[in-house]
Amino acid sequence: MAALPTLPTTVAATVAAAAAPSAARKLRRALLWGSLVALLVVAQSLLVWLTVNHERNRAQEQAEAASLVAADDVKQRASRNLQSFQALMWTDAAHVSSQPWQANAAVLLRERRELLQLERRDSQMRVTEAIDSPYAPGLFQRIRRSELSLEAVAACASAARLASPAYSRSYFVPLLSGAGLEVMDVCMPVQNAGQLEGFLVATVGLGGLLTEALGPELLRGHELSFVEGDGTRLARAGLQRGAGVYVAERVIDLNGVSLQLRLDSSAGSPRLIPNLAVAMVLGLSLALGVVVALLARDGRRRARAEAALAESLAFRKAMEDSLVTGLRARDLQGRVTYVNPAFCNMVGFTSAQLMGLITPPYWPPDLIEEYARRQAARFGSDRSIDDAREGFETTFMKQSGERVAVLIFEAPLVNRAGQHTGWMSAVLDVSDQRRVEEISRQQQERLQATARLATVGEMASLLSHELNQPLAAIASYAAGSLNLMQSGPPDADTAALLQQATERIAEQAERAGRVIKSVHDFVRRREQSREAIACNLLIDAVLPLVRLQTRKSGARVVVDVALPSPRVVCDRTMVEQVLLNLTRNAVQAMEEHTPLDARELRIEVRQHHARWVTFGVIDCGPGVSAEAAASLFTPFFTTRIEGMGLGLSLCRTVIEQHGGALEFVPCAGGPGTEFRFTLPAENPSKSAAALPTDATGGPSQPAVAKELA
Ligand code: ADP
């Protein structure tokens, strides 16, 4: 609500709609979550599959690479064998060695374990010499060599034809032990001066060839074998058995024959957990799952919070809409930032018409300047936030031009960070109230005027009595003067008497005039304005009328005003009426039961408090009974036959309108009643500088008591 407390209705509606549970929304949410989970599962499976596949490919590639190396090694070994055979043949033919062929051949057989037998044959393929490997003696003991020479003959035929070494197909040689060996023959033509002299035939064990050609490392992790096209294993080296998962085959071309080398790795199918990459993927998947779960929980919480927010927004909006008090917010520059419907009804403008305006259209045109000045002062930087909370009354103008009296309470808008961002006003339409007050005031005025007339009516008899005396005196002075004038021409004494009589007549006429004027003044004075007046003047003004009241009963009037006379601010006419009512009641109370010499009416004025002046009207009557006391100030309560019962209630109204109070207290130490009221003092700081501000402890003031007959 910092700068703009406007309730964003669209947002509220959206949030409320979002919070309202509906089957379609639930289904949509379930679908969303379902597809998210499915996507996650697919993504995870794909990741695992890719990782495993990668792992498999890697192992396969390793197997392929190892088979390549193995084939290469075998080929190299075979070609080195051929070189050794040639060296053997050459040594023999050139007679460079003193040792016979057999010795050299034995050395070769010892060096190369895969060679099982070496033979020399003549050009007719007859074996002339043969020597066995020391590691596998008696290769052809179970079946004689002549019976297993078919492959050797074919190889030699091919070798003779090509004049280069040639390998035979492999064949199986059963041994005496019952086992057997897969072997092949390699035949090398022996030529002398272009003439074929014979052949050197070496029988190579396939198993031995593998074992000797391949390094121990390769053999440790793989099963290596020569196989036939249909997969029949001919010879094997390395592991007893490969895992059968990563298998690579290579064809090794030797002179005249092709061997199929098969490599079977010991590595099995990639397993999930031991595999680091897969473990990582699984870990990540788990983490992802946890994150999704947390997200789901967060989403649920968010949905709950949104629902609560929507509810509170809806509640706030409903509250603001149903308020009868107008609400208006303004920013620090005085721009209207928010108004509620009640405010719009009050001034007859829509919210859109008022938003953002510094000089709103509900300010009456003739008061715009004054309001702008007032607003500038109110929004001034030196105005403290605490000072600003008081209410004030002002006038707005409706769109129709009708004026509305409003009471405004303004409070600062403070945002969550504690910054003052604007002003919030509660606006009450008090025009009806003001109308009622005006009517009541007029009625009150009329009532008071009536009461005054009633008082005058009551006084009429007293007045006639009062006027009777000066009129009678005037009549007798006039008659005396006439007699003197009729008795002849006046001498000096008669002239002096006539002058005296005329002066008396004038005096009495003036006295009668004064009496009539005081009554006239009392009835006619209508002005309502408050004025500052000295209390003695107030009392002096009503004294002639008071004296009129007391004359009949013969009561004494004692006026006791503090000196210097305190000054009060009041509506003089009204206060005079109060004094007159109270003195009249006092006189009437003393009329029946109070002995003549005890009838004393006392009017006191004191200032015990800096702000208030206290008046007392004290009589020596019978006092107020307990039951009368309960309803003394109720209108139309009276104990007198001719009474109206309005006097005291009017008095209280008048005094309270001045901010004072009217009460009665029994007189201390005797019968009688004191009616006591307070009026605001004029300029309390100056006139009562020396007085305490507490009404209980008053200073001793010099006072004079003036007794009037
Ligand atoms: P009214 O004088 O027309 O009766 P008031 O309102 O002036 O109407 O007085 C109401 C009643 O209060 C009187 O009838 C009287 O009984 C009582 N009252 C007023 N002043 C005094 C007083 N000084 N002593 C005793 N009773 C009083």
Quickly state the pLDDT bin for 114 (edges 50, 70, 90): very high
Residue with more model confidence, 15 or 534: 534
Q: Which two tokens stand for residue 494?
A: 């008669």
Q: Is 577 in the pocket of ligand 1 (CB under 6 A)?
A: no
Task: Tell the burial category of 593 from Cβ atoms under 10 Å away from its Cβ (0-12, 13-18, 19+).
Answer: exposed
CA of 629 to the centre of ligand 1 (A): 10
What CA–CA distance (Å, rounded) separates 33 from 39?
10
Q: Which residues, other chains included, contact 125 with Cβ-Cβ below 8 Å and sequence gap of 6+?
A: 149, 152, 153, 156, 199
**Mean pLDDT over residues 18-23, rounded?**
59
Q: Is 435 in the pocket of ligand 1 (CB under 6 A)?
A: no
Cα-based distances in Å from 624 to 234, 244, 253, 579, 672 = 146, 129, 148, 18, 8
Question: How many CA atoms does the CB half-sphere of 409 hold within 13 Å?
Answer: 7
CA distances in angstroms from 36 to 21, 303, 392, listed in the order given: 21, 18, 61
Token pair of 274, please? Answer: 């031991």
Query: Per-residue pLDDT averaged across 173-195, rounded?
Result: 89
Residue 88: band (very low, low, confident or very high) from pLDDT cuts 50, 70, 90 = confident
Ligand 1 pocket test, pick from 455, 578, 585, 646 with the greatest ligand atom count within 8 Å of Cβ, gives: 585
Q: Name the band, by pLDDT with cuts 50, 70 and 90, for residue 709.
A: very low
Helices (H), 192-237: 206-213, 216-221
pLDDT beyond 90 at 539: yes
For residue 593, is pLDDT > 60?
Answer: yes
Closest protein CA for atom 23 of ligand 1: 586
Q: State the Cα torsion 500-501-504-509 to the nearest 10°.
A: -140
- CB of 631 within 6 A of ligand 1: the answer is no
Residue 628 in contact with ligand 1 by CB distance below 6 A: yes
Q: How far apart are CA 179 and CA 190, in angstroms?
A: 33
| Lowest-confidence pick of 148-162, 243-257, 459-473 | 459-473
CA 645 to ligand 1: nearest atom: 8
CA 381 – ligand 1 centroid, Å: 57
d(CA 575, ligand 1 centre) in Å: 18
Nearest CA to ligand 1 atom 16: 639
- Whether 696 has a pLDDT exceeding 50, the answer reads no
Higher-pLDDT residue of 241, 517: 241
Q: What integer pLDDT is reported at residue 525 of this predicted model?
A: 54
Ligand 1 pocket, residue 422 CB under 6 Å = no
The number of the ligand 1 atom at minimal distance from the alpha carbon of 621 is 24
Is the minimum distance from the CB of 593 to ligand 1 under 6 angstroms? no
Atom of ligand 1 nearest to the CA of 637: 10
Beta strands (DSSP E) in 60-209 are 115-122, 127-132, 166-167, 171-174, 180-192, 195-205
Beta bridge partners of 662: 677
Select the more confidently predicted residue: 480 or 168.
Answer: 168
CA of 547 to the centre of ligand 1 (A): 19
Q: What per-residue confidence (pLDDT) applies to 622?
A: 92
Two tokens, residue 624: 């107020």
> What's the N-to-C CA distance of the chain in angstroms?
75
Report whether 328 contacts 423 (CB < 8 A).
Answer: no
pLDDT digits (tens, 9 = 90+) for 416-451: 888 888 888 999 888 888 889 888 888 887 877 777
The whole-number pLDDT of residue 567 equals 94
List beta partners, residue 677: 615, 662
Rounded to the nearest angstrom, the distance between the alpha carbon of 638 and the centre of ligand 1 is 6
Distance 311 CA to ligand 1 centre (A): 63
Neighbours of 701 (CB within 10 A): 15
Contact 533, 567 (CB under 8 A): yes
Q: How far is the CA of 672 from the centre of ligand 1 (A)?
A: 13
From atom 18 of ligand 1, which residue's Cα is the shortest distance away?
585
On whether the CB atoms of residues 234 and 226 are closer than 8 A, the answer is yes
Which of 375, 359, 374, 379 lies closest to 420, judged by CA? 379
189 prior amide bond cis, ω within 30:
no
What pLDDT, on a 0 to 100 scale, did the predictor assign at position 614?
96
Q: Is the CB of 374 under 6 A from ligand 1?
A: no
Lay out the sheet containing 336-339: strands in order across. Answer: 336-339, 326-331, 420-429, 403-414, 391-397
Q: Please tell me the predicted confidence (pLDDT) of residue 320.
A: 82
pLDDT at 274: 62
* Residue 458 confidence class, pLDDT cut points 50, 70, 90: low
Is the shortest distance between the CB of 256 and ligand 1 below 6 Å?
A: no
pLDDT of res. 697? 36
691 pLDDT tier (thresholds 50, 70, 90): low
- Tell the residue nearest (CA) to atom 7 of ligand 1: 647
The first and second tokens of residue 33, run together, are 């979550």
Q: How far apart, in whole angstroms, are the C-alpha atoms of residue 423 and residue 124?
A: 128
Give the distance (Å) from ligand 1 centre to CA of residue 223: 136
- What was the pLDDT predicted at 5? 45
The predicted structure's pLDDT at residue 98: 57
Q: Which residues contact 280 (CB under 8 A, 6 or more apart)?
A: none
Residue nearest to atom 21 of ligand 1 (CA): 585
Mean pLDDT throughout 59-86?
92
**pLDDT attached to residue 468:** 73
- Which protein residue has the closest C-alpha to ligand 1 atom 19? 585
Mean pLDDT, range 667-695, rounded to an integer: 72
CA-nearest residue, atom 8 of ligand 1? 645
Contact indicator for 146, 232 with CB cutoff of 8 Å:
no
DSSP string, 647-674: HHHHHHHHHHHTT--EEEEEPTTSS-EE
CA of 133 to the centre of ligand 1 (A): 160
Q: Which of 128-132, 285-289, 485-489 has the lowest mean pLDDT?
A: 485-489
Give the pair of three-digit tokens for residue 465.
Answer: 């009595």
pLDDT for 111 beyond 60: yes
117 Cβ below 6 A of ligand 1: no
Mutate to test the pocket of ligand 1, among 546, 578, 602, 638 (most ligand atoms within 8 A of CB): 638
Q: What percent of the chain has pLDDT over 70?
A: 86
Q: What is the Cα gyration radius of the chain? A: 69
User: Using a 6 Å cutoff on CB, does residue 671 contact ligand 1?
Assistant: no
**Cα 42 to averaged position of ligand 1 atoms, centre (Å):** 102
- Whole-number Å distance, alpha carbon 639 to ligand 1 midpoint, is 7
Output 373 or 680, whichever has higher pLDDT: 680
- Which atom in ligand 1 lies closest to the alpha carbon of residue 582? 20
CA of 535 to the centre of ligand 1 (A): 24
Measured in Å, residue 646 CA sits from the centre of ligand 1 at 9
Nearest by Cα to 224 from 73, 110, 59: 73
- Among the residue ranges 173-182, 452-461, 465-474, 581-590, the one predicted with the least confidence is 452-461
- Can you count the helices (H) and strands (E) in the chain? 17, 23
Task: Encode pLDDT of 241-267 as tens digits.
Answer: 888 889 999 999 988 889 999 999 888
Distance from the alpha carbon of residue 582 to the mean position of ligand 1, in angstroms:
9
Distance 656 CA to ligand 1 centre (A): 19
- Cβ(142)–Cβ(232) under 8 Å? no
Only one residue has tokens 């503090």, namely 562
Q: Which residues on neighbouring strands pair with residue 186, listed in sequence order?
A: 167, 202
pLDDT for residue 653 is more than 80:
yes
Query: Cβ(412)–Cβ(423) under 8 Å?
Result: yes
Mean pLDDT for the stretch of residues 200-226 = 91
Looking at residues 408-412, what average pLDDT do you find? 86
Q: Which residues contact 177 (CB under 8 A, 6 or more apart)?
A: none
Q: Looking at the predicted structure, is the pLDDT value of residue 688 above 70?
A: no
Dihedral of CA atoms 156, 157, 159, 161 in degrees, nearest 10, equals 160
Which of 648, 664, 674 gets mutated to test ligand 1 (max ligand atoms within 8 A of its CB)?
Answer: 648
Within its chain, how far is the Cα of 93 from the centroid? 108
Q: Does 205 contact ligand 1 (Cβ within 6 A)?
A: no
Q: How far does the centroid of ligand 1 lie from the alpha carbon of residue 517, in Å? A: 27
Nearest atom in ligand 1 to the alpha carbon of residue 646 is: 6
586 in ligand 1 pocket by Cβ < 6 Å? Answer: yes
Residue 10, pLDDT > 80, answer: no
Expressed in angstroms and rounded, the spacing between residue 564 Cα and the centre of ligand 1 is: 32
Query: Three-state DSSP class for 11?
Result: helix
Whole-prediction pTM: 0.43
pLDDT of residue 685: 53
Stretch 604-622: mean pLDDT, rounded? Answer: 94
> From the CA of 608, how far away is ligand 1's center (Å)?
27
In the predicted model, what is the mean pLDDT of the chain?
83
Which residue's CA is minimally distant from atom 14 of ligand 1? 638
- Distance in angstroms (rounded) separating the CA atoms of residues 125 and 130: 13
Q: Can you give the pLDDT at residue 350?
A: 92
The H or E element spanning position 247 is strand 247-254
Distance CA 247, CA 214 (A): 17
**pLDDT for the residue 6:** 45
CA of 583 to the centre of ligand 1 (A): 11
Helix crossing, 535-553 with 492-524: angle to 10°?
110
